[in-house]
Structure 1
């Protein structure tokens, strides 16, 4: 599990790589927290690029739900972009794409959230 902040003029962009499952969901949450702290009203949106995520379990979805609540409570905007097909399918089947704004491309996420 790895997160990398990428400088972008319109968003706080974070590249996520690896599996987000029972064994790594806590690490994912811990690594994501500093980025969530900046996800406040008046700040650029936080966009998670999931192009490097090849699997997500229910534990990973729970971590994302908690992150979404945290961002919303601060008045921030959070979205996910660029899914691998299996992960996109998990979001669709679980209806998590109704909980967190999901976008096929970074450009679409920026157009909607920035």
Structure 2
């Protein structure tokens, strides 16, 4: 899984697409690893653009929870943006939006988290 990254208003934005389910969690974890390793204090915030994610399973949520914990431990800033309606519903029902900051748009996330 490739996560194309761009810079926007002082934040790194990684584009995530497709399904994040049990079959792809290891691949998703490995794709996130280098991005999370540099998500530290004094570095650019990491925003995952979820506008292209059509489904996320509990296994995918676990990857995001661990990513949020790692970023927090490193004093970095990590957030999600532009969740599709189905993914937003999963986050709302599971209250996952209380674990990982979620923004309506990538632009809004970058405004808050960018330097």
Under TM normalisation by the shorter chain, which class is it? over 0.9
- CA offsets 1:51-103 (integer angstroms, 9 cap, x no match): 01000000000000000011111000000001110001101110000000001
Gap runs ≥5 in structure 2: none
Q: Which residue of structure 2 aligns with residue 11 of structure 1?
A: 11
**2:114 is the alignment partner of 1:86:** no
Deviation at 1:27, TM superposition (A): 0.6
Aligned counterpart, 1:31: 31
Match in the other structure for 2:55: 55
Which residue in 2 is equivalent to 1:110?
Answer: 110
| Structure number with higher relative contact order (C-alpha < 8 Å, ≥ 6 residues apart) | 2
Gaps of 5+ in 1: none
How many Å apart are 1:3 and its aligned residue?
Answer: 1.4
Deviates more, 1:93-102 or 1:7-16: 7-16
Runs of 4+ in 1 over 4 A off after TM superposition: none
Taking only aligned residues, the RMSD between alpha carbons, in angstroms, comes to 1.0
Matched length: 114
State yes or no: 1:45 paired with 2:45.
Answer: yes
Contact 1:54 1:87 in 2 (8 A): yes
**Structure 2 SS opposite 1:53:** strand
